[in-house]
Amino acid sequence: MKKWITPVLLFAAVFLVSRVCQPYTLICQEYEGLFLNTPDGWTRAFAQPWPLSGIVSDFLIQFYRDPVYGALILAVIVTLVFLLCRGLCKCLGFTLDSLPALGAGALWFFLSRSSEPKVGIAVLLVLSALWLLSLLLKKRPGRAWKPDLALALVLVHLAAALTIFSPSVQRTERFSRVKHDALYGVWDDLLKTVPPAVAEKDPELTPFALLALSGKEQLGDRMFTYPVYEENDLDMIYYDGNREYYTSLLFKACLYQYLGCYNEAVHNYYQWATQLPKGTSFVVLRRMVELYYLLGDYTLMEKYCRILDHTSVNGAYVRHFRALAAKGTPREADAPDVRAQIPVITHDPLYNLILLQRNGFDTPMLRDRMPAAAMLRKMQQEAE
Amino acid sequence: MRGVWPILALSAALFLACGRVEFTDSSSLPPIVPDYAGVTIPEGMAALSFEMADGRPFKVEEKRIGDTLYYHVRAWDKKTGKGVRYAPFPVYISHDAIDPYIAYRLIEPSYEGWKEMGLYSRELATYKEMPIVENASVNGGCVNCHSFSPGDPSRMLFHARGAGGGTIFVNGDQVKLLNLTTVGPHKQGVYPAWHPGGRYVIFSSNATQQSFPIMGSQQVEVYDHNSDLILFDTQTDSVFTYEPVCNTARMETFPAWAPDGNTLYYCVADSLASVVENRASVHYELAAIDFRDGKFTGEPRTVWKADSLSVSFPRVNGEWLLFTASGYGTFPIWHKEADLYLMDLETGIVSPAEILNSEDTESYHSWSSNGRWVLFSSRRLDGRYTRLYIAHFDGEGHFGKPFLLPQKKFSHNVLRLKSYNVPEFVPEQPAGLDEAVSKLFAR
């Protein structure tokens, strides 16, 4: 019985910590992951370094959309690594839990900070191969070490504590939660995740909090409870470096989607996709389906549906949009003389809001943002 | 074990019962995508693959009678078990030779940014696609505007944008990087056309910008603020300009040589302020200028213009000139009305190449070495992702019905998330350049 204590505890710890402390991290790994059973998908899969572990990792990430499965997969990987390490130690004549627990715990901590389980899969595959080879070796009698089990349990607890209290894990989880909430318009949760005190420490999140406020039509009342100093805090038009570029594109994609300007939302989702590891992702493909449905371009919507048909867990989603499109009326293309008169988006967010309003976009969010953007412009001009 | 056999027998009986389909004959052609009925293909082309437009399962049998392939299609409904035996559709086989390879760029039809892109070649007799150079070799920068020296595919050039980039000239095993902005008039090269003699390359030098309409069916507009033509001498690595085609009053772009190399065709429009706001009034016309002994001579002349159309991508084949025309502007790929037009250079008569055109965009095109085939890009499949079509040309102004570049499975056209860009016929397989190019960028 004793030999199961460490692996069971390890499995339970990884599962519970991942499920409770990192659900949005897992969900966002699916959002930004991609596994396509298509010719180009396989070509890309085999072109990556460590292709086998990459392919398995990409395949498994599909299921992270439900964090229960994500946590389960992570727990299985870490526990299997522990068991294989223990098996290898046994072959070398050591009946040990502590050393495998140290290895598995370190891997868990690493995976909790990683954007995919690829390294875990690679370790698992290498250990599996070593373990199979070890079966050919002559078995040696095991030498036990008395405080081993206690030490192993301490190491598992230590790994759990490191993961739970790691500032980097917490920051990733918070940012993932903000991404999820912004993508799906869960404004109350977003405001709970980014209260003014958090925005003070992490200014990158301020525009998302203000987006949530405008989603609730409370921007005018509550904007200045947040650390708002300039226009960029509201609309994130400027960025510094790759990380801010990534965030700015995601923010603008969400913003223009909620403003009803789907052309500009598509533009920014495409741009955001180029910042993702595989050039597109599950959430981008799903967003394309939604946006092209809203734009009335059912032909293009169907293309993305067919691509998502080549994934494992998007069947219901695709069927839903196909049913909606079957009832809808596709939009006709505009004539050249009509197209030529349509204004284009600019790098001035306030002017863009005015353009949208003049052209018939009338959403509550637009009405809420307009005075706030004008006020910030005036403040900025006066400060200059 | 004895209990297993009845279950297996029952399963087999059920399978056979379900597999029995009652077919009725139909006099109509099968509703397939892409529409291959009546197309003309070259001898030895990779097999055409298609699917039923409504997704039904189907079987196809090919029978060749003379120079016509007949496709007999039977399709059935899985639920009802009822099937239709359609009238066979013909595919005509031409004995006119075609270059065995094509080259193109694959890129996401995105906006300002990109992740992966590359130049590729494809063997027409098979489905084999090989990289010429991928942007991983140029530190993730943009690779574009490839051009082969006519009749000599071992000589080519393409641009590699980004830090440390420039124009890469390939001559057999020699690969060199030259930043055109550092020589002559300090203008960067954009759209190239290699002179038939092989020594000179004419480039347009464009200040290009993109804008994004806030609504409507067009999501991107691309336009030039200004553009000129510059001449590059590959023997001396020097750049020359000629004032009539390099001035601020007009925007010259899309150069193309006549096969004898004595005439340069290009597109030109008056320069104007606030191009994007006034884009409806930007109409490029087709112009030409003479070229003798490495120098432009005389004044440019207008070859063709229309008040309601804007010309791009002229490509000459003997006495025929094929170009793209759209409602306005200089970048037709985002214009659904963009169509191909054929001009008889002897008579000056221009007419739309109707059999090549569709409701959606037709754009970049190139002639085969013998002028009997034309390769062009079209967005007719889904309105966004450009795919390649090939059509036969009889040399007397008539095209055959174009066919979609076949893939092993038609669905590849749907599942591929990249557009085909700047397709060109190539007489030999271009060499892979990744290793040589990455060395240039590793310095």
Of the ranges A369-378, B157-166, B288-297, B355-364, which one carries the lowest mean pLDDT score? B157-166
Per-residue pLDDT averaged across B274-279, rounded? 92
In the structure, what pLDDT confidence band is assigned to residue B17 with cuts at 50, 70 and 90?
very low
- Residue B391: pLDDT over 60: yes
Q: Average pLDDT over chain B, rounded to whole?
A: 92
Which residue type, as a one-letter code, is found at position A135? L
- Residue A168: pLDDT over 60: yes
Cis amide prior to B34 (ω within 30 degrees): yes
Q: Are B26 and B107 in contact (CB under 8 A)?
A: no
Of the ranges A84-93, A121-130, A258-267, which one carries the lowest mean pLDDT score? A84-93
**Which pLDDT score, from 0 to 100, does residue B2 have?**
47
Out of B111, B336, B384, closest to residue A300 by CB? B384
Per-residue pLDDT averaged across B76-83, rounded? 89
C-alpha span between B19 and B21 (Å, rounded): 6
Nearest C-alpha in B relative to A340: B280
Q: What is the pLDDT of residues A110-120, one digit of tens each?
A: 999 999 999 99
- Residue B16: pLDDT over 50: no
Q: Where are the domains positioned within chain A?
A: 2-165, 170-383
C-alpha span between B223 and B211 (Å, rounded): 8
| B114: chain A residues, CB-CB within 8 Å | 274, 279
Q: Indicate the pTM of the whole model.
A: 0.92
Out of B221, B382, B415, closest to residue A38 by CB? B415
In the structure, what pLDDT confidence band is assigned to residue A166 with cuts at 50, 70 and 90?
very high
Per-residue pLDDT averaged across A177-184, rounded? 98
C-alpha span between A227 and A235 (Å, rounded): 14
Nearest C-alpha in A relative to B361: A333
**Lookup result for tokens 């946006």:** A291
Which is higher by pLDDT, B184 or B191? B191
Find residue B352's DSSP bridge partners: B341
Per-residue pLDDT averaged across A312-336, rounded? 95
- Residue A341: pLDDT over 50: yes
Per-residue pLDDT averaged across A268-280, rounded? 94
**Which pLDDT score, from 0 to 100, does residue B11 have?**
52
| B327: chain A residues, CB-CB within 8 Å | 336-337, 339-340
**Lookup result for tokens 């009326």:** A329
- Residue B6: pLDDT over 60: no
Q: What is the pLDDT of residues B226-239, one digit of tens each?
A: 999 999 999 999 99
| A352: chain B residues, CB-CB within 8 Å | 214
Helix-then-strand count for chain B, H and E: 3, 32
- Residue B3: pLDDT over 90: no
**Which pLDDT score, from 0 to 100, does residue B405 have?**
98
In the structure, what pLDDT confidence band is assigned to residue B183 with cuts at 50, 70 and 90?
confident
Residue B393 is given by DSSP the state: B
**Which pLDDT score, from 0 to 100, does residue B111 have?**
66
Per-residue pLDDT averaged across B201-218, rounded? 95
Compute and round to an integer the Cα radius of gyration of chain B. Answer: 25
Out of B110, B212, B327, closest to residue A336 by CB? B327
Query: Does the distance separating the beta carbons of A339 and B216 come in below 8 Å?
Result: yes
Out of B220, B280, B418, closest to residue A340 by CB? B280
Nearest C-alpha in B relative to A344: B213
CA-nearest of A284, A260, A262, A261 to A272 is: A284
Show the tokens assigned to B365.
Answer: 């095109």
In the structure, what pLDDT confidence band is assigned to residue A294 with cuts at 50, 70 and 90?
very high
C-alpha span between B292 and B231 (Å, rounded): 13
In the structure, what pLDDT confidence band is assigned to residue A90 with cuts at 50, 70 and 90?
confident
ipTM passes above 0.85 = yes
Query: Does the distance separating the beta carbons of A279 and B111 come in below 8 Å?
Result: no
Per-residue pLDDT averaged across A210-215, rounded? 97
Query: Does the distance separating the beta carbons of B112 and A263 come in below 8 Å?
Result: no
Q: Which residues on chain B place their C-beta less than 8 Å from a C-beta of chain A? A: 108, 110-116, 211-221, 276, 279-280, 326-328, 335-337, 359, 382-385, 408, 411-412, 414-418
**Lookup result for tokens 């992270």:** A64
Per-residue pLDDT averaged across B19-34, rounded? 90
**Which pLDDT score, from 0 to 100, does residue B10 have?**
53
Out of A264, A270, A332, closest to residue B214 by CB? A264
Compute and round to an integer the Cα radius of gyration of chain A. Answer: 25
For an interface test with A, give the residue of B54, B108, B215 to mutate (most A CBs within 10 A): B215
Instruction: Tell me which H or E stretch contains A90.
Output: helix A67-91
**Which pLDDT score, from 0 to 100, does residue A146 have?**
74
- Residue A70: pLDDT over 70: yes
**Lookup result for tokens 């004032």:** B243
Instruction: Kindly report the nearest CA distance between residue B122 and chain A, in angstroms.
Output: 15
C-alpha span between B116 and A34 (Å, rounded): 15
Length of chain A: 384
Nearest C-alpha in A relative to B385: A300
Show the tokens assigned to B270.
Answer: 């008056």
Burial letters for A326-344: b for 16+ Cβ neighbours within 10 Å, e otherwise? Answer: eeeeeeebbebeebbebbb
Length of chain B: 443
Q: What is the pLDDT of residues A8-53, one digit of tens each?
A: 999 999 999 999 999 999 999 999 999 999 999 999 999 999 999 9
**Which pLDDT score, from 0 to 100, does residue B19 have?**
57
In the structure, what pLDDT confidence band is assigned to residue B1 with cuts at 50, 70 and 90?
very low
Q: What is the pLDDT of residues B124-149, one digit of tens each?
A: 999 999 999 999 999 888 888 899 99
Show the tokens assigned to A188.
Answer: 């109350």
Query: Does the distance separating the beta carbons of B219 and A300 come in below 8 Å?
Result: no
- Residue B50: pLDDT over 60: yes
Find residue B401's DSSP bridge partners: B39
Query: Does the distance separating the beta carbons of A342 and B217 come in below 8 Å?
Result: no
Domains of chain B, first to last: 23-94 (no CATH), 101-442 (2.120.10.30)
Q: Average pLDDT over chain A, rounded to whole?
A: 94
Which residue type, as a one-letter code, is found at position A66? D
Per-residue pLDDT averaged across B399-411, rounded? 97
The alpha carbon of B106 is separated from its chain's Cα centroid by a whole number of angstroms, namely: 11
- Residue B43: pLDDT over 70: yes
> Could you tell me the strand order of the sheet in which B238-240 lies?
B192-194, B200-211, B221-233, B238-240
Strand ranges inside chain A, DSSP E: 94-95, 143-144
In the structure, what pLDDT confidence band is assigned to residue A91 with cuts at 50, 70 and 90?
confident
Out of A270, A295, A355, closest to residue B111 by CB? A270
